[in-house]
Amino acid sequence: MKITGAQALIRALEMENVETIFGLPGGCILPAYDPLLDSPIRHILVRHEQGAGHMAEGYAHVTGRPGVALVTSGPAATNMVTPLMDAFMDSIPMVCITGQVATWAIGTDAFQECDTVGITRSCTKHNELVMSAQDIPMAVRQAFHIATTGRPGPTLIDVPKDCLTNMMDWYWPTDQEVIDSLPGYRPNTKGHPRMIKEAAKLILASERPVLYVGGGVLKARAAEALRELAELTNIHVVTTLMARGAFPDDHPLCLGMPGMHGNATAITAMQQSDLLINLGARFDDRITGKISSFAPEAKVIHVDIDPAEQGKVRRPDVPIVGDCKQVIEEIVKAIKDLVANGSAPADTGAWRSSISGWREQFPLSYEPSEPGEALKPQFCLEQLRDNAPEGTILVSGVGQHQMWSSQYWKFNEPYSWVNSGGLGTMGFSIPAAIGAKVGRPDRTVWAVDGDGCFQMTAQELVTAAVERIPIKVAILNNSYLGMVRQWQEMFYDERYSEVYLSPEVPNFVMWAEAMGCVGIRVDSPEEVQPAIDKANSIDDRPVVIDFRVDAREKVFPMVPAGYANDDMLLPEWQECNRGGLK
Amino acid sequence: MSNEGAHHILSVLVQNRPGVLARVAGLFARRGYNIFSLAVAPAEDEGFSRITIVVDLESTSLEQVVKQLFKLIEVVKISELDPHRCVERELLLATVRTTGDQRGQVVELVNIFEGKILAVGVEAITVSLDGNPGKLDDFEELLAGYGIVELQRTGRVALPKLDREARLRAVKNNNGKAG
């Protein structure tokens, strides 16, 4: 059957079970928008292409299915670079389709032409310039296959305008045809049996083990398997920024987040461990601190689906390349076998009592404000958390508010936390929250944002209002680029350079109202609860609460960049007990 | 000029598709790996090309280079060739200044090395030599004494030796590919 390339593109997306596309039309992609009118696929018209990209990411985060963005050539393609890189760093499955100038115009510096595949080569898992309408179905199948298998990531298909308008003979490649077309792509999911047995032995022999859990556990949908492993072995779990929710925060074995702004117990447990069981994490510099002083006595089991992560930063004693779910299940079996055959686990009693001592002495804490003093951002988060309906999804931007969110929220189920970890993209939260709400319309979605972040992508609230996507936004507004301010205060002798944002302009409430949202301003602690109640009761449009918070508040603990984790800075009132961490 | 200790030869089989070389080169640039030389041409099967890369390893392990290369979707197979267990060839072209009585000396040098004279000018000649890269290094060093006007080397190509046991040390086969 002859159809146009544009019809083939939309039909291919339908065949891939795409329900929602985030996009914005323009010259070269125009032909694809015509058949979209007749398709059951929902299209969400964004106000800036970067928004489409982050929405696709937010959607993928909470559903586990690839987010799809559709934009035109040139500036639209370059606007996609940030979300693509963000998705690449955080291994988010995403498919981006860009328009391109006609094949005969490529290379002539035509209007809105840019070298999209060249520009996005290093921020996609794979990209492809289609040169014929006939190639479209295969290109789409390859893009979805690559984005969602192995270590997930973003893919991009660049489609010239004449490929969209030309006729082609419709076909749909089989799974085997897709695999055969990619002879160099064979992700390994099954861990090596000998290594798995080796890991089980090390786990049983360890006196100070820690499960170091990263985003790979969420990508592999391995939260249940992880819980079984932790409970079977009684080993404590730290969840990295990308893995919050992979293990319930209210579980007695959960130590919360390690790293630069992790809590003292999680950091110290890793530091003093004799065995780090790394499940889908990558020894990021924000976790390890100064690498030469990181967990000096620990042996390492490293489970990762990407072989290149093995030995990239820290050489593992037991490398296991495979899917976290499969491998964890196999490790559980291997441990049960060993125990059945008489192996006894080492005594971890002393270790567990050290950990509970640290937890008691070094809880996350802040100084509540006295009556009449400025609002504390942590207090706002606690109130948001305690009033959040069951199953609420929290989305954050990047900076202090992100760290407080990760620290003070209680993530008790997987896929309830969405943030930009690797790339640290300010402006992520509004569009990502919109994508998350589209993916899980049954859930309440709160975006916690900073006043700096908000001003980068706030225009997407227009999209949310018009498309009736009722997200809720809490701006922790300290009139500063807060994290930069914190560094300047601590490491640049309080010399504040270009971090002060005006407290008067913009007027966030008026801005929210102008975009079709409900705007609420909160200045004092007693206004917090009513504002949150009001926000939680509104379900027909987005709500923005402008919390005016104390600008002097800093995120603690902190391991300054380049410091060893042992040298973490504690809040003043805990510094005097520092000896307790030894 | 060549420092054999830090050099490793990778023979990389890739799908013959537009942009593959840019992906490989981009990866090396992005991760700070050094390419010492690079040669690329279609392989025996027309759907594939073979890239011979001589990698200069100073700050990274060969293992990381190989694993990162494998992450490129179009990379099908990577073999590390042991310099002692493979045949290597390279081609050198050089234009050498030959004023006065130097021409005879240069011609003699070309004959000793079994090279060829490709073009003769009034005060310069262009010569060629193919062979083992080490031999080319020696030849180049000797020519330098006369004054090299222009020099072009192709970068080495290599295949495993056939004699005795299999010499090809496959770093990984298809099944171990990166995700």
ipTM for the whole complex: 0.91
Which residues have a Cβ under 8 Å from the Cβ of B39 and sit 6 or more positions away? Answer: B51, B52, B154, B155, B156, B157
Give B2's pLDDT tier (boundaries 50, 70, 90). Answer: very low
Contact state of B64 with A311 under an 8 Å Cβ cutoff: yes
* DSSP, res A111: T
pLDDT at A551: 96
Q: What secondary structure does DSSP assign to B65-103, as a single string?
A: HHHHHHTSTTEEEEEEEPGGGEEEEEEEEEEEE--TTHH
Q: What is the CATH number of domain B4-86+167-176?
A: 3.30.70.260
Give B44's pLDDT tier (boundaries 50, 70, 90). Answer: confident
Q: Does residue A290 share a domain with residue A159? A: no
* CATH for A293: 3.40.50.1220
All residues of chain B having their beta carbon less than 8 Å from the beta carbon of residue A187 are: 177-179
| Amino acid (one-letter) located at B6 | A
**Residue A3, helix vs strand vs coil:** strand
Residue of B nearest to A150 (CA): B179
Assess B174–A contact: CB distance below 8 Å, yes or no.
yes
Mean pLDDT of chain B: 87
To the nearest whole Å, the CA of A150 is away from the closest chain B CA by 4
Q: What secondary structure does DSSP assign to B2-36, as a single string?
A: --GGGEEEEEEEEE--TTHHHHHHHHHHHHTPEEE
Q: What fold, for B88-156? A: Alpha-Beta Plaits (3.30.70)
Assess B23–A contact: CB distance below 8 Å, yes or no.
yes
- Among the three residues A181, A201, A218, which one is the final residue of a domain in this structure? A181
Rounded to the nearest 10 degrees, how much is the dihedral formed by the CA atoms of B139, B141, B146, B150? Answer: 80
Assess A143–B contact: CB distance below 8 Å, yes or no.
no
Contact state of B19 with A129 under an 8 Å Cβ cutoff: yes
Contact state of B22 with A186 under an 8 Å Cβ cutoff: no
pLDDT at A248: 98
Half-sphere exposure in the Cβ direction for A163 (13 Å, CA): 26
Q: Does residue A289 share a domain with residue A257? A: yes
Assess B59–A contact: CB distance below 8 Å, yes or no.
no
* Within-domain flag for A525: yes
Tokens of B173: 């086969």
Contact state of A186 with B75 under an 8 Å Cβ cutoff: no
Per residue of chain A (582 residues), give pLDDT as tens: 899 999 999 999 999 999 999 999 999 999 999 999 999 999 999 999 999 999 999 999 999 999 999 999 999 999 999 999 999 999 999 999 999 999 999 999 999 999 999 999 999 999 999 999 999 999 999 999 999 999 999 999 999 999 999 999 999 999 999 999 999 999 999 999 999 999 999 999 999 999 999 999 999 999 999 999 999 999 999 999 999 999 999 999 999 999 999 999 999 999 999 999 999 999 999 999 999 999 999 999 999 999 999 999 999 999 999 999 999 999 999 999 999 999 999 999 999 999 999 999 999 999 999 888 999 999 999 999 999 999 999 999 999 999 999 999 999 999 999 999 999 999 999 999 999 999 999 999 999 999 999 999 999 999 999 999 999 999 999 999 999 999 999 999 999 999 999 999 999 999 999 999 999 999 999 999 999 999 999 999 999 999 999 999 999 999 999 999 999 999 999 999 999 888
Domain ranges for chain B, please list them. Answer: 4-86+167-176, 88-156
Task: Tell me how far apart the alpha carbons of residues B66 and B77 are, in angstroms, rounded to a whole number.
Answer: 10
Q: Does residue A353 share a domain with residue A311? A: yes
Is residue B58 scored above 80 in pLDDT? no
Q: What secondary structure does DSSP assign to B111-139, as a single string?
A: HHTT-EEEEE-SSEEEEEEEE-HHHHHHH
Contact state of B67 with A307 under an 8 Å Cβ cutoff: yes
To the nearest whole Å, the CA of B54 is away from the closest chain A CA by 20
Residue A90 contacts residue A243 (beta carbons within 8 Å): no
* Within-domain flag for A561: no
Contact state of B76 with A305 under an 8 Å Cβ cutoff: no
Q: Does residue A492 share a domain with residue A343? A: no
Assess A244–B contact: CB distance below 8 Å, yes or no.
no
Is residue B176 scored above 50 in pLDDT? no
Q: Do the domains B4-86+167-176 and B88-156 sit in the same CATH topology, yes or no?
A: yes
Rounded to the nearest 10 degrees, how much is the dihedral formed by the CA atoms of A279, A284, A290, A295? Answer: 0
* Within-domain flag for A369: no
All residues of chain B having their beta carbon less than 8 Å from the beta carbon of residue A117 are: 19
All residues of chain B having their beta carbon less than 8 Å from the beta carbon of residue A150 are: 178-179
pLDDT at A541: 97
* CATH for A70: 3.40.50.970
Contact state of A183 with B174 under an 8 Å Cβ cutoff: yes
Assess B21–A contact: CB distance below 8 Å, yes or no.
no
Give B164's pLDDT tier (boundaries 50, 70, 90). Answer: low
Q: How many domains does chain A have?
A: 3
Q: For residue B179, what is the enclosing H or E element?
A: none
Q: Report how many Cβ contacts below 8 Å link chain A to chain B.
A: 67
Task: Supply the range of the domain harboring residue A399.
Answer: 377-548
Q: Does residue A165 share a domain with residue A85? A: yes
Task: Tell me how far apart the alpha carbons of residues B103 and A40 are, in angstroms, rounded to a whole number.
Answer: 80
Tokens of B54: 């001589």
Residue A217 contacts residue A150 (beta carbons within 8 Å): no
Contact state of A117 with B64 under an 8 Å Cβ cutoff: no
* Within-domain flag for A560: no
Q: Does residue A336 share a domain with residue A211? A: yes
The distance in angstroms from the start CA to the end CA of chain A is: 73
All residues of chain A having their beta carbon less than 8 Å from the beta carbon of residue B46 are: none
Q: Does residue A140 share a domain with residue A25? A: yes
Residue of B nearest to A307 (CA): B178
Assess B179–A contact: CB distance below 8 Å, yes or no.
yes
Contact state of A307 with B23 under an 8 Å Cβ cutoff: no
Contact state of A308 with B71 under an 8 Å Cβ cutoff: yes
Q: Does residue A326 share a domain with residue A177? A: no
pLDDT at B4: 52
To the nearest whole Å, the CA of B36 is away from the closest chain A CA by 22
Contact state of B70 with A118 under an 8 Å Cβ cutoff: no
Is residue B63 scored above 70 in pLDDT? yes
pLDDT at B163: 67
Q: In percent, how much of chain B has pLDDT > 70? A: 88
Which are the catalytic amino acids of A?
49, 111-112, 161, 483
Report which of A309, A201, A34 is spatially closest to residue B179, judged by C-alpha positions.
A309
All residues of chain A having their beta carbon less than 8 Å from the beta carbon of residue B61 are: 311
All residues of chain A having their beta carbon less than 8 Å from the beta carbon of residue B178 are: 150-151, 187, 306-308
Which residues have a Cβ under 8 Å from the Cβ of A309 and sit 6 or more positions away? Answer: A282, A302
* DSSP, res A364: -
To the nearest whole Å, the CA of A149 is away from the closest chain B CA by 7
Q: Does residue A206 share a domain with residue A142? A: no
Assess B15–A contact: CB distance below 8 Å, yes or no.
yes
